[in-house]
A = this chain, B = another copy of it.
């Protein structure tokens, strides 16, 4: 008899196991459907529903089907049991039920009012992921990929503006949404809604910070496909990627902010602690991410010395690259920092240094691997967002709150883009035109990050209402604004089908006449960028990659012994290789760094564009000073 019972329990476990397979199969099915749809759309050049919108739609339909075709099976799961002996919740609970010991794993605390949500449909519960899956499995590849592909032309040119939008803009957006929502909540309390809820200003700020994360996926995919004006693309891409990092850390610091006494009163100490937290977490995550990337760069750098050749084993190289990048994420998490931010800056640094050291095979492997992981993770998240509307069981739809949030998000975006653009235009040589500003305003979609931040904590009623609201705003913006991108571009008369190389060339030609007066204004605004670029080019690149001039020429003379050790013997032979100079140099920087000493009025912009016109990533280009002249000669030779 005992034997028989055992088999029954094993079968029970199998049932569990098979259900896991069924859920994953549902996702696989949705993804396959999405891929087939994308294929069809691409085939018909249909752009009114982006793949992310399609994935959401399929998720929605599937959620609807699951909700209304499966029925409540596990009656017992809604019952709350009393246990007098337990004083706190242990991580593993062993319970003796009818003389058999069962093991239970701690999942979390539940508010009393949510208990009834747990009564019911086991299938729905199974389809609801653990929120930490988003932060630990799905987001890292997306964010890393964004960082890894941030090595875009025009990026460093617009760095100042991007940083302003990302840091200042996100802070503005967060505060404005927080303030407006606080007003709405006060009004709702006044008219008798939200009875007995605890809804503080910090909660409103929390909502503001999570709603400030804009989506780097939907619009940019369309921009990329249509070859929209490069400056606009770079501004939006840079802003939305960095803005995610800022929003995540901001949300984290706000949730730690806990004033000691009255939660509604302003507590200066707690506020400054939160600001300190923000800066600490951001800087720590940044340092963690980049240091792992630097380690990777150093290891892969070693392959050119005599002793070892890692580049001969692309699999090992790719494996190491992958594992060290993932370790950056995990270390940041383990240290209490933000893994997502660490992985973003790890990606940026990997692209800037390590990428240059990789073998051609590994360059392609890593790119394709992260591209693929990004593709899958993105579609899973958007499918899941669609599913969550029907499978999540604790939604609180409050029309007034949703209306208030929509208004707040719209106003906050406006207060972010227009004033900042105005201020930036004061300093920018090349102004951000009105139609770009309107387009940036329009492209403020909310996506995966806002969703992931909102789903992290859905215990209290305010948080549940925020989650529902965030989800609906994501739906609305992805479908309406995402779908409206192409018409909007036409309406705002923004150039599409731009070849970035041609673009730069034309621009350079128009500028070459009025070259003198602009250098001075530019020099001030981009001073920090230029200092960094100089330092990077002279010291970091030679140490971490085989690009840039040998250290022996850049370091002061008394450092020569050290410089000789740090510069590998082969570096002298390879010193002409710096294959991303064309990405990070700036017309004016070029002029100043390399012409100010030479004092020859070479049309610097022409060099840059001829460099870029080759279009290849792996062009083995000369050290800038030299290569510029060479290429310029080639270029003039081509134009009789």
Contact = CB atoms under 8 A, between A and B. Distances in A.
Interface stretch (A11-19, A428-436, A494-502, A592-600): A11-19
A16 B91 contact: yes
Interface of A: 3-4, 7, 9-10, 13-14, 16-18, 20-22, 24-25, 28-29, 31-32, 35-36, 38-40, 42-43, 74, 76-83, 85-98, 100-112, 115, 118, 122, 125, 132, 136, 198, 255, 258, 263, 299, 307-310, 312-313, 315-316, 318-320, 322-324, 326-327, 330-331, 333-334, 336, 339, 365, 368-369, 371-372, 375-376, 457
Contacts of A309: 43
B109 A90 contact: no
A319 B18 contact: no
A101 to B, nearest CB: 5
A110 B101 contact: yes
Contacts of A81: 83, 85-86, 93-96
A82 B104 contact: no
Given A43-B308, A323-B32, A94 B79 contact: yes
A12 to B, nearest CB: 8
A372 B22 CA distance: 26
B94 A115 contact: yes
Contacts of A323: 28, 31-32, 35
Contact of A308 (B16, B39, B136, B255): B39
Given A20-B136, A42-B313, A82 B96 contact: yes
B89 A122 contact: no
Contacts of A94: 77-81, 110, 115, 118
Contacts of A13: 108
A255 B9 CA distance: 13
Contact of A104 (B42, B104, B376): B104
Given A35-B316, A35-B320, A93 B89 contact: no
Contacts of A103: 106-110, 118
Given A313-B42, A330-B24, A87 B97 contact: yes
Given A74-B90, A79-B94, A315-B375, 9 more contacts: A21-B339, A25-B327, A31-B319, A32-B320, A32-B327, A39-B310, A89-B102, A101-B111, A103-B107
Nearest to A31: B323
Q: Which 3 A-B pairs have the closest CB atoms?
A: A104-B104, A21-B333, A89-B102
A97 B323 CA distance: 41
Nearest to A308: B43
A369 to B, nearest CB: 7
